[in-house]
Amino acid sequence: MQVSIACTDHNLKNRNGEDRLISKQNTTAPNAVNAARAKFRTVAIIARSLGTFTPQHHISLKESTAKQTGMKYRNLGKSGLRVSCLGLGEYVMFQSVCVAEHLMTIAYESGVNLFDTAEVYAAGKYVSMLLFFHLRSSLVITTKLYWGLKASLQRLQLEYVDVVFANRPDGNTPMEEIVRAMTYVIDRGMTMYWGTSRWSAMEIMEAYSVARQFNMIPPVCEQAEYHLFQRDKVEVQLPELYHKIGVGAMTWSPLACGIISGKYASGVPDGSRASLKCYQWLKEKIVTEEGRMQQSKLKELFPIAERLGCTLPQLAVAWCLRNEGVSSVLLGSSNAEQLIENLGAIQVLPKMTTHIVNEIDNILGNKPFCKKDYRS
């Protein structure tokens, strides 16, 4: 069974503005902002040269910058853990260490505090790279484990983590064993919460029932795919679980592996993700009849994006964020331009009125039936 963990220094008690990262990417920022960023990067360079970093006092951009980025922060499910509504996701960590570090810096300066990685991404080099930020009271880091929890804690230089995510059960492992294992690591102080990844609503409910039956700890969050063409689970099943047992949603692939970006409107261009050999399945999906229909619907959405003064990717990400049950949307970008564009969805979120959402639903024609409208 594969698991993933989220970590921070768990500085969660002071909530009066403490959870807002108030740096901003602005070339006309005040001198104090530029000085803070310069000092921040200098510390990172020193950390790289030394190979380790254990400062007694950290420099926090959220404390030294006077302007807010507009980033929103939400609780992870009904737990007390606060995460940015946009996080940096899996595809970023497949880049080179240099590119990944640049993207993470952009994300952090834009208010992102959630970073989703795995030990296998970038050959495990991301671990030491993440420590350059050394602002653990401001960061939530998730990682998939393949070689053991103890080894990962040593790489992260942490004694405990905040959240452990368990992959979907293989059908052979009893649910009681999974819940007991998650409860064990929490009881031993190695983590604060646990969640699920790609579990069905029935499996999550079973885990909750087992936890209650044997006085153990239930999950607080589910990692699920969510975008314009994948809606049922997040819009129907998870909201019900959220209101009944407090399980939230951390969603991924808001652009459907790039399909919603518009780059595949005229086929599969060279250099795109779908052109890679390991993404042959994506290419095959794009050229199917369903794929062509999706591209046709995206063309109909372009006028809405233009009317709102945003790009299609920004519209798609903001559309995901408008769901009140979504704690955070994980972004996956391969370069700085894409990441900056996607982060701009924060500015589009206030424009996602009921009228706009209904207009999008009419074009998509795939709104799932549910008992209640869970849009905020």
**CA–CA gap between residue 150 and residue 147 (Å, rounded):** 9
* Per-residue pLDDT at 347: 94
Q: Does some domain include residue 155?
A: yes
Q: Tell me which residue range forms the domain holding 123.
A: 63-261+315-350
* Per-residue pLDDT at 58: 38
Nearest by Cα to 256 from 291, 292, 290, 228:
228
* Per-residue pLDDT at 300: 96
Q: Does some domain include residue 292?
A: no
The one-character DSSP state at 168 is: P
CATH number of the CATH domain containing 253 = 3.20.20.100
Q: Does some domain include residue 272?
A: no
Residues (pLDDT < 70) of the chain are 1-68, 90-97, 117-137, 143-149, 155-158, 271, 370-376
Q: Does some domain include residue 6?
A: no
Tell me if residue 73 is catalytic: no
Q: Does some domain include residue 280?
A: no
Distance of alpha carbon 16 from the chain centroid: 23
The one-character DSSP state at 373 is: -
pLDDT tens for each residue of 227-256: 999 999 999 999 999 999 999 999 999 999
Indicate yes or no: pTM above 0.85: no
Q: Does some domain include residue 172?
A: yes
> Which structure tokens are listed for 302?
């372009």
- Phi and psi torsions of 185, nearest 5°: -70, -30
pLDDT tens for each residue of 271-330: 677 777 777 878 788 878 988 999 999 999 999 999 999 999 999 999 999 998 899 999
The domain total for the chain is 1
Q: Does some domain include residue 75?
A: yes
116: β partners: 142
* Per-residue pLDDT at 253: 93
Summary mean pLDDT of the chain: 77
* Per-residue pLDDT at 92: 58
| Residue 357 CB contacts under 8 Å (≥ 6 apart), including other chains | 319, 322, 375
Q: Does some domain include residue 168?
A: yes
Exactly one of 108, 121, 193, 242 is catalytic; name it.
121
Cα radius of gyration rounded to whole Å, the chain: 20
* Per-residue pLDDT at 163: 81
The one-character DSSP state at 183 is: H
Nearest by Cα to 73 from 103, 25, 107, 113:
113
What's the N-to-C CA distance of the chain in angstroms? 35
